[in-house]
Amino acid sequence: MMPKTLEELRQWLVSELPKWLREHPELRYTLEGVLAETFVRRDEWQNLMKALERLAEGQQELQQTLQEVLRQQAEHSQALRALQEQQAEHSRILQEHSRILQEHTRILQEHTAILREHTQALRALQEQQAEHTRILQEHTQALRALQEQLAEHSRILQEQTRILQEHTQALRALQEQQAEHSRVLQEHARALQEQAEAIIGMQRRLIEHSEAIRSLQEEQSKHSELLRRLDSKIGALGRRWGLLSEAAFREGMYELLTPYGFRVERFWARDEEGFVFGRPEQIEIDLLVRNETTIAAEIRSSVSKADVWVFLRKVEFLERLLNRKIDRKAIISPFVDDDALEFAQQTGVEVFTAPEELRST
């Protein structure tokens, strides 16, 4: 007796399919090939996930290294600013020392002028003394006055000698101060030279750090490109798996059900009104089984909540086009999101998927 409902078909497959597989080896081999192409082995999936985790850990280590290099660069910049401030302070001190030396030079020049005046005064006194001696010889009466003048002149000379001695001591002290200033300036010049060499060394290290940062950035760019290529290959693998599994499953159902009066086909139609996607688009339903009941099924590599919603819109478009109700709606996929599974149950969509322990690996 030919099965007329999906439940009868399911019972018939349970009772008759094992016998068919034993009696027809070519059918058994075809079914084994379809299952092998449809489901990804667990060890292959785990190896792929481990490779992705290693790439993510490597990128995180690169980011941490880059942050440490940036922190060291900030510390070096701060030290360089402190050195620049010290150099500015040293320049100010040198300018102050130059001003003091100029002042000392001016004082020495004034003292030199005073000594020159004193020398001229001494010459004048010597001329006066000669004149007095001549007057003394000529005028005996003026001898006392001349002696008194000579005594006064001696006192003046002693005073001038004392002043000259004080000036000499002052000049010696100025010479010592000038020598001390020269020594301090030499020390400052040596310190500035050491600071300049340190700044040059820091600049060289900053250049090396910059080159290291550029190298790290290039490595990170390479890793990002590898991740992008890996993501592209995974997406291409998923699309290829979906196309192959869809065609194989539809061909298998066609061979199994057509001899018993079921019409198995792939539905194509043009949605000119944009009912499904909001714009004119080619609408496809992977599997349409028709007899007394009509079954619409979608075969996907993975299913999200949005995929369930799109499938429902496609079914509504099919019902409007055929002017009849679709009796059963089904989605077949090895990977189904929890949100998608809950939404499908709420909207009357049957979901055929792998067991929970397989979908979570």
Residue 238 has pLDDT above 70, yes or no: no
- What CA dihedral angle connects 254, 258, 262 and 263, to 10 degrees? 60
pTM value > 0.85: no
Q: Write the pLDDT tens digit of every residue in 112-163.
A: 787 788 778 768 878 887 887 788 688 778 668 867 876 786 787 687 668 7
Give me the residue spans of the domains in the chain: 6-37+242-359, 61-218
pLDDT value at residue 314:
96
Averaged confidence pLDDT in the chain: 78
pLDDT value at residue 44:
66
Q: Write the pLDDT tens digit of every residue in 31-75.
A: 777 766 665 556 666 776 777 677 767 767 877 887 887 888 888
pLDDT value at residue 358:
37
Q: Write the pLDDT tens digit of every residue in 281-303.
A: 999 999 999 988 899 999 998 89
Burial of 195 (0-12, 13-18, 19+ CB in 10 A): middle
pLDDT value at residue 21:
77
- Helix ranges (H only) for the chain are 6-23, 25-38, 42-138, 143-257, 305-322, 338-346, 356-359
Compute the distance between CA of residue 250 and CA of residue 265 in angstroms, rounded to an integer: 8
Q: Write the pLDDT tens digit of every residue in 300-318.
A: 988 999 999 999 999 999 9
Q: Write the pLDDT tens digit of every residue in 27-39.
A: 777 877 776 666 5
pLDDT value at residue 173:
77
- Cβ proximity of 321 and 270 under 8 Å: no
pLDDT value at residue 283:
94
Of the candidates 265, 254, 262, the one whose C-alpha atom is nearest the C-alpha of residue 4 is 262
Sheet holding 328-332, edge to edge: 263-271, 281-290, 294-299, 328-332, 349-352
Of the candidates 40, 77, 304, the one whose C-alpha atom is nearest the C-alpha of residue 202 is 77
Long-range CB pairs of 152-157 (<8 Å, 24+ gap) are 153/125, 153/128, 153/129, 156/125, 157/122, 157/125
pLDDT value at residue 337:
92
The conformational region for residue 278 under phi > 0 = left, psi -120 to 50 = alpha, else beta, is left
Q: Which residue has the higher pLDDT, 181 or 227?
A: 181
Q: Cα–chain-centroid distance for residue 262?
A: 61
Residue 248 has pLDDT above 80, yes or no: no
Which CATH number, 2.40.50.140, 3.40.1010.10, 3.55.50.30, 3.40.1350.10, labels domain 6-37+242-359?
Answer: 3.40.1350.10
Q: Which residue has the higher pLDDT, 164 or 148?
A: 148
What would the mean pLDDT of 77-98 be, rounded to a whole number?
84
